[in-house]
Structures are given as structure tokens and as C-alpha cells.
Homo-oligomer: A and B are copies of this chain.
Amino acid sequence: MAARDYGQYDGVSRALELVGERWALLIVRDLIVGPRRYGELAAGLPRIPSNVLAARLKELQAAGVLRRAPHSRIPVYELTPYGRGLEPIVLALGAWGFRALGEPREEQVLTPDALTIALRSAFRPAVAAALPATAYAARLGAADLLIRVTGDVLAVQRGEGQADLAFATGPGIRLLLSGEVPPERAITTGLVQVLRGPSELLGRFASTFHLAA
């Protein structure tokens, strides 16, 4: 079970032995958002083979990164405190990789958990603190995300809810986050479709969340 090792006595090597296998950090990414069942993980990682998902879950469990939640009849996976230590690393990796995102290709998907992580790494607490509390409802395909910004605190959860601004979007939201397309043009070009609420609030959204291109 011990992952192939690098033969080095070093923290980076050890970290990569624990979470460096293919798909491992994407599983961690989704579990950062919240506990997930096997099928939810599989749905969030559409191309992962079932046997590989099962293998990774076992390895990550053995590594102390995640565990099956106790006191629940049905199997649910969640990060351990040690695994939660990866959170800033995954967020930083996301911000770094964001800069290398090109145009979305047809076969690429944008999952709710991935967008949640992107929003968390794009969140600018200092900017948000100076703005009034705001709730956004983002529709992503069939999924809904409720994004609440209160002072310098961000909360993202799945599902609908009371929101000041509701909009539907897709991969094109990247251009809004990077500032390559200003909010007004994001609406006129259809990158973002406002469903409810004053469309000016999209400007507030864009200044609250920003990632360098």
C-alpha cells in the first residue's frame, strides 16, 4: 500500500508520496468543500476510473489525510485535521494554475466544488470588508451555489437561497474573475446571465473575487 517512494528524507518528497499520485489532490480539493460520499466524488471527477477512486481513498486514508466519517451509517469521506492542512496549498495551486487556463474546451467540465475552490482562492477579504454584506446565487449547469459575503468572511454552499443577485454562468466566469472582461461586458456578451436582482451587483462580485491572469 505504501506509495512508491522517492528515496529521499525530505518533507516535499514525503508530501508527494502521500498526495502526489494522480487524482489525489483533486479528491482533496473536493473534500475541502465538505464531506462527500463515494458517488459524489465520482460525479465531481467525471473521468476518474472507479477502481482508481477506490484505491486513492484507501491510500489517502492510510496516509491520514482523510477518513470515513464516524457515526454515520452510510459511508461519507471527510478530511482529517492533518488533511485540512492541505487547504491553503490547494488554494494556492488553484490560483497558480488559473493563470495557465486557456479557453475552455468542449469536453471540459466545471464542477460546483471546483468553482467553490476557485472562489475561495479568488476571495479578497480586505476588499470585501469595505463592501456591504451581499449574497449571490450562481447557477452552474444544473447546480446552484449560494455565495454569501459578510464583512471579510466568505461562505459558499450548495443549493439555492435568498440572494441579492442571481446569475447563471459557466467556464466563461474565468474572464470575469481575471478582469479580462468587465462586468457590464460579461453580461452583454452572455458570459454571465443575470436571472434576478440588479445587474450592477456583478461589479461588486467582480471586485470581491479576483484572480490574476
Report Cα–Cα, A14/B171, bound state, in Å: 14
List residues of chain B with CB within 8 A of the CB of A98. Answer: 11, 14
Report Cα–Cα, A115/B99, bound state, in Å: 30
Closest chain B residue to A212, Cβ basis: B85
Q: Mark A4-47, 1 if CB is under 8 A from B, else 0.
A: 00111111111111101011011001000000000000000111
Interface status of A129 (Cβ within 8 A of chain B):
no
Interface status of A165 (Cβ within 8 A of chain B):
no
Report Cα–Cα, A115/B105, bound state, in Å: 41
Count this chain's copies in the assembly.
2
- Contact (Cβ within 8 A) A118 B11: yes
Interface status of A93 (Cβ within 8 A of chain B):
yes
Report Cα–Cα, A187/B75, bound state, in Å: 49
Report Cα–Cα, A160/B107, bound state, in Å: 55
Report Cα–Cα, A23/B4, bound state, in Å: 11
Report Cα–Cα, A108/B9, bound state, in Å: 5
- Contact (Cβ within 8 A) A107 B171: no
- Contact (Cβ within 8 A) B15 A97: yes
List residues of chain B with CB within 8 A of the CB of A18. Answer: 97, 100
Closest chain B residue to A15, Cβ basis: B97
Assuming A20-B25, A100-B63, is B15 touching A93 (CB within 8 A)?
A: yes
List residues of chain B with CB within 8 A of the CB of A114. Answer: 8-10, 12-13
Q: List 11 A-B contacts (CB under 8 A).
A: A8-B26, A9-B105, A9-B110, A10-B118, A11-B94, A11-B121, A12-B29, A12-B114, A14-B100, A16-B93, A20-B20
